[in-house]
Amino acid sequence: MEKQSLPAKNGPEEPVIIIRDLYKSFGDLHVLKGVDLTVFKGENVAVLGKSGSGKSVLIRILVGLLKPDKGEVTVLGHQVNNLPENELNALRLRVGFSFQSSALYDSMSIRQNLEFPLKMNIKNISKQEIDKSVKEVLEAVGLEDKIDQMPADLSGGQRKRIGIARTLILKPEIMLYDEPTSGLDPITSSEINKLINLVQEQYNTSSIIITHDLTCARDTGDRIAMFEDGRFNKTGKFEEVFNDTDEQANSFYNYNFIQ
């Protein structure tokens, strides 16, 4: 089911991510070729494009894991490419990165996986505060009963949910999802899409959802940003991007869409 539009906001919209004229190459491979995008507070933007097109490079630049060759990236009012390491680390705590692989520690229980970012990043946090936070995020993703299990005991969809929970535990203002439905069956993918929308509503996050899954883009994105040949060639609501007159978008639609 297509995501319902956000209600109209009072006053000007507040940008939380501004990307301007962004370029990135690896040797002779030109991945980003003049990317421009603005994400507003409380908005989910689905970045849609084919696998291997460079979408994941974009979000790694957003959190300072890669340096652009040219252009500017502003996140929560900070120019990422100019930040010293200590300020960049502080900014990263305000941005949650949900990895495609879920990135759980296999040697730790679910409880320990969720406790880890709190113990690493918040000084003098009490056991009571940790227990409360772990319980809260497990309830948010609907997996309270898995708290003492190991990651190997979980299904792919459950691992994705726990990965999102571990990202949420630091209460980020921005969520970056890297192929959240990759490798999942349609039913489990639908559950993850609903969870992404729940996170937006419950935690008031702004998000970029990197995906090549049209159903994911349609069901989670307030706006779609179509990534093609190293830049965004079209942005708008799902029905605006995939209209009857755009042959390039419709060929992507016809090849990929899951009814």
Q: Which domains does the chain have, with CATH numbers?
A: 13-94+172-259 (3.40.50.300), 102-171 (no CATH)
Count how many Cα atoms sit within 13 Å of the Cα of residue 159 in the half-sphere of its side chain.
Answer: 20
pLDDT in single tens digits along all 259 residues of the chain: 566 544 434 445 899 999 999 999 999 999 999 999 999 999 999 998 877 778 889 988 999 999 999 999 999 999 998 899 999 999 999 999 887 777 889 999 999 999 999 999 998 999 999 999 999 999 999 999 999 999 999 999 999 999 999 999 999 999 999 999 988 999 999 999 999 999 999 999 999 999 988 999 999 999 999 988 899 988 999 888 887 566 666 666 655 654 4
Beta strand segments in 27-103, E: 29-40, 44-48, 70-75, 78-79, 95-98
- Least Cα distance to 246 among 259, 222, 223, 228 occurs for 228
The amino acid present at 236, given as its one-letter code, is: G
What's the CA gap between 88 and 24, in Å, rounded? 20
31 neighbors 24 (Cβ within 8 angstroms): yes
242 CB contacts (<8 Å, ≥6 apart)?
A: 249, 250, 253
CB atoms within 10 A of CB 82: 11
> What pLDDT, on the 0 to 100 scale, is given for residue 11?
41
203 neighbors 167 (Cβ within 8 angstroms): no
> What pLDDT, on the 0 to 100 scale, is given for residue 257?
53
Write the DSSP assignment of 104-158 as a string of letters: --TTS-HHHHHHHHHHHHSTT--HHHHHHHHHHHHHHHT-GGGTTS-GGGS-HHH
**pTM recorded for the entire structure:** 0.87
73 CB contacts (<8 Å, ≥6 apart)?
A: 17, 18, 19, 20, 22, 61, 62, 79, 80, 81
Instruction: Report long-range pairs for 59-62 (Cβ below 8 Å, ≥24 apart).
Output: 59/97, 59/176, 59/178, 59/208, 59/210, 61/22, 61/24, 61/32, 62/17, 62/19, 62/95, 62/176, 62/208
Phi/psi of residue 73, nearest 5 degrees = -130, 120
The amino acid present at 64, given as its one-letter code, is: G
221 neighbors 241 (Cβ within 8 angstroms): no
> What pLDDT, on the 0 to 100 scale, is given for residue 10?
40
> What pLDDT, on the 0 to 100 scale, is given for residue 255?
52
What's the CA gap between 108 and 212, in Å, rounded? 31
